[in-house]
Amino acid sequence: MVGTIPEGARPLPQKAPGAPLMSSGTGTPIASPAPAAKPPIDVDVPDPIVEIRDFDLWYGKFQALEGVSLRVPRNQITALIGPSGCGKTTLLRSINRMNDLIPYVRARGEIAVDGRNIYDPGVDPVEVRRVIGMVFQKPNPFPKSIHQNVAFGARINGYRGDIDELVERALKQAALWEEVSDKLSESGLTLSGGQQQRLCIARAIAVSPDIVLMDEPCSALDPIATQRIEDLMRRLAEDYTIVIVTHNMQQAARVSDRTAFMLAGDDRTGRLIEYGTTDQIFSTPRDERTEAYITGRFG
Amino acid sequence: MSVESAYRPRLAYRHAVGTAFRWITAAGALLGIVLLALLLTDVARDGTRLLSWDFLNAFPSRFPEQAGFKAALWGSIWVIGFTALLSFPIGVGAALYLEEYSGRGRLTRLIQLNISNLAGVPSIVFGILGLQLFVRGTLGFGPDLGGFGRSVIAGSLTLTLLILPIVIVAAQESVRAVPSSIREASYGVGATRWQTVWHHVLPQALPGILTGMILALSRAIGETAPLIMIGALTFVAFVPEGPGDPFTAMPIQIFNWVGRPQADFRDLAATGIIVLLVVLLAMNAVAVYVRQRTQRNV
């Protein structure tokens, strides 16, 4: 767990100073952006596990995100939807500081996980990523055995329990155990695409994260494999908080509890347009752009 | 009747150009192979007569029928062995730094440019550097470090400098070929950079690194100029027993024999070339074997 700071004890600057992401100097912040447009509609999430506050992000001189504020509820599934290039993947990768790996990325604002800003200078992104796991768009198992794939995270994080037992538990949670229990020493690459993605989910949950980020986890899968992953997500949401990016609005409607709609303007900078319960977003969107998108008029 | 067409296909002409081009490229490909085959036949004709176990077990002599290759063969093995030991960790380390750690700043680009340029520096220049730095231990300015004399280690250090650019560039390319999705997966479960490099990047890049390593060592084993420059001996009647001993090397011995007036010595040079080639092929075979084993384990 990221160290927890009691609610209310933390100061709330309107614009936190830009926290440098990369240790290699990336220069001074560019001129501060124009004052954020009207704050996006936020729904009431009483006890958020992730609270994004006024978050901006730049790739070099290009601003990819502006003024995003979002409260992610605990043990629920939150979907980020929007057309290509709207910044939803960037936002997702900001939640576990995966964007740190890209040169010339700068972020400003705050992403608080259990009350602690993960962009504080004292926070180690390596620790953040153990607590906030990730499943990627294309299944990316290590070219190693199924067992090693699941065990890797536990090993490098100094897991002190029984590794074999952990591997079995993670594979069972990922609904893959039945299919691979007799071939744990075979390469993860011998599995089918859907199995590989479930292996990646097992790998992510094997380090007991609190949150699992999923970046279009089904986009490379066929409908049957997609359905299995969606069923799995519903079950995982009992133990984990899930944030999923998806291009597929039906998927968002099927699996998620809350939906955030993002959109990039003519400047290609992504902003959060509307956020609410999935029912509300898909039945009575408040913003006409949300309505246009979910009814398929663009994107 | 047909109207004037908007196209003038000239199909026969276009196909003729294609065929001609095909034969020209085939000739280009064959020329090198044919010349190499001719050379090898020539070497084999001259060299097989004197090829024997005695040749491998005798030291050089004034009499061609008694002269052997022992000192040169073992000298080369010593020098190349140390060159491999030195250039592998330094070269792979440099490649990993440039690819995984350094970012994309100006300094990195400068280092990169210099490495590419160093790969094109004539080997004799490295010989001059080796003579000053490793044999004499001083560059004429700065401290006098003593130097290693005309020893195996001085030769290995010189050859290491010579092949490092090749090793680094080859290793960089194989490190870069490791998909970034693997790195992300590793970081995603909370691995540090070092853990990611050690557990995933390096194992996957290793086959490519080894290939580049062997290519570079193959070049080093045939190098003559820098070794002459640092003063490898041409008439050696002993085998080095440690990195501090003087030495000779196969190409130097061959070069020395070719320069003798007696025809028998030139045949002896051909015999030496055969041994050099066999050693080279053996090294490549080991590399292929190691590479396939590492690939299978992945």
Please report residues of A whose CB lies closer than 8 A to that of B199.
152, 156
Secondary structure class of A270 (helix, strand, coil): strand
pTM: 0.80
Rounded Cα–Cα distance for residues B87 and B85 (Å): 6
**ipTM over 0.95 threshold:** no
Q: Are A227 and A111 in contact (CB under 8 A)?
A: no
Please report residues of B whose CB lies closer than 8 A to that of A174.
none
Low-confidence ranges of chain B (pLDDT < 70): 1-3, 140-144, 234, 295-298
- Average pLDDT of adjacent 10-residue blocks, chain A of 299 residues: 40 38 39 45 74 94 94 94 93 94 90 93 93 94 95 93 95 94 94 94 95 94 92 94 93 94 92 93 92 84
pLDDT in the model for residue A32: 42
Q: A145 CB contacts (<8 Å, ≥6 apart)?
A: A184, A185, A186, A187, A188
Q: Which CATH class is domain A48-139+209-294?
A: alpha beta
Residue boundaries of the structural domains of chain A: 48-139+209-294
pLDDT in the model for residue A104: 87
Please report residues of A whose CB lies closer than 8 A to that of B183.
101
Residue A108's DSSP bridge partners are A56
Interface of A with B (CB under 8 A): 22, 24, 96, 98, 101, 103, 126-127, 129-131, 133-134, 136, 138, 140-144, 152-153, 156-157, 200, 203-204, 206-207
Supply angle C-alpha B5, B11, B15, rounded to 5.
165
pLDDT in tens, B184-222: 999 999 999 999 999 999 999 998 898 889 889 988 998
Secondary structure class of B16 (helix, strand, coil): helix
pLDDT in tens, B23-50: 999 999 999 999 999 988 988 888 888 7
Secondary structure class of A273 (helix, strand, coil): strand
pLDDT in the model for residue B114: 92
Q: Please indicate whether, in this complex, the C-beta atoms of B190 and A98 are within 8 angstroms of each other.
A: no
Q: Please indicate whether, in this complex, the C-beta atoms of A200 and B185 are within 8 angstroms of each other.
A: yes
Q: Which long-range contacts (CB under 8 A, 24 or more apart) does A24-33 make?
A: A24/A103, A24/B103, A24/B105, A26/A103, A26/A104, A26/A105, A26/A106, A29/A106, A29/A108, A30/A58, A30/A61, A33/A63, A33/A66, A33/A67
Q: Please indicate whether, in this complex, the C-beta atoms of B189 and A138 are within 8 angstroms of each other.
A: no
Q: Please indicate whether, in this complex, the C-beta atoms of B188 and A204 are within 8 angstroms of each other.
A: yes
Give percent of chain B above pLDDT 90: 37
Q: Please indicate whether, in this complex, the C-beta atoms of B187 and A101 are within 8 angstroms of each other.
A: yes
* Closest-CA distance of chain B to residue A214, Å: 11
- H-helix or E-strand spanning residue A112: strand A105-113
pLDDT in the model for residue A92: 96
Most B CBs within 10 Å, among A24, A163, A167, to test the B interface: A24
